[in-house]
Structure 1
Amino acid sequence: MVTYAVALIGSVILFFLSHHHTIITNVKQLNIASVTMGLAIIFIEFGYILCYKAGWSAGTTAVTVNMTMTIILIPIVILVFHQGFTVRNAIGVLLAIVSLVLMNS
């Protein structure tokens, strides 16, 4: 909890140092994407905690989680945001899958 409290305090400080708008103005501009992203971050961090408790290595957990998240998000990005998927992207996904297999075997 201390880690997240420090992150919150740091985020508030950075907000005041980098924004010219008031908090009220920014709160009025909030949308569901901000809330959804916050929830996603909570679940990702919870996943890290579970991985570490299960004995995963700190050196490979972050890479594994990030690559897996990227691979999982590809269909969502294609279907929801209508972004293209090229041969180059497919090669990247295949390389990511191969590296996940090699790293975790």
Structure 2
Amino acid sequence: MIRYYFPVMLIVGANLIYQNSAKAMPGQVNTFFGLTFTYIIAAVLSATIFFVGGHSDPIQVQMRYLNWAPFALGVSIVLLEFGFVMLYRVGWNISVGPLVCNIILAIILLIIGYLFYKDIITLTKIAGMGLCMIGLILLTRK
């Protein structure tokens, strides 16, 4: 059971750090300079974990396993982080901005899951999507 919920706890914990860090990014710092520094830290940490973590194959073999996904993931992470820093800089509250983004994302992913990955959409999921939309309307009302 712990193995099943550990990724959820990790994502939630990391997202708490992430959102607070994005909100705290100094306005005087160029966003892409801040992201460059962020990725230097991430690269050093990732490389350290890779080399210390007892990887099974040499780098040359690992390189052959790569496809388009790491490139797309890298681009999406930069855009995601830029988007969140900008979200806060234009005035969104930390309690509302990410929630609005994640509700919209959940609705879109439900549709993508059905269309491309053969996920099953039940009445319960449709009701949940409807509640998400109602929540979105309530969250964004001024």
Q: TM-score, normalised by structure 1?
A: 0.80
Distance apart, 1:104 and its partner CA:
2.4
Structure-2 change in CA distance of 1:78 and 1:3 (3 Å): same
1:56 is matched with which residue? 92
Counterpart check, 1:102 vs 2:122? no
Which one of the candidate residues 38, 44, 49 is aligned to 1:9? 44
2:114 is matched with which residue? 78
Distance apart, 1:34 and its partner CA:
2.5
Measured in 2, the distance between the counterparts of 1:25 and 1:15 equals 14
Structure-2 change in CA distance of 1:2 and 1:98 (3 Å): same
Which is further off, 76-85 or 15-24? 15-24
Identity of aligned residues (%): 29
2:11 is matched with which residue? none
Distance apart, 1:10 and its partner CA:
1.4
Distance apart, 1:3 and its partner CA:
2.0
Distance apart, 1:29 and its partner CA:
0.7
Distance apart, 1:18 and its partner CA:
5.6
Measured in 2, the distance between the counterparts of 1:18 and 1:69 equals 35
Q: Which amino acid is the alignment partner of residue 77 of structure 1?
A: G
The structure showing larger relative contact order (alpha-carbon pairs under 8 Å, at least 6 residues apart) is 2
For these two proteins, the number of residue pairs brought into alignment is 105
Q: Which amino acid is the alignment partner of residue 47 of structure 2?
A: V
2:81 is matched with which residue? 45
Structure-2 change in CA distance of 1:75 and 1:15 (3 Å): same
Which is further off, 17-26 or 2-11? 17-26
Aligned alpha-carbon RMSD (Å): 1.9
Q: Which amino acid is the alignment partner of residue 87 of structure 2?
A: C
Q: TM-score, normalised by structure 2?
A: 0.63
Measured in 2, the distance between the counterparts of 1:97 and 1:13 equals 42
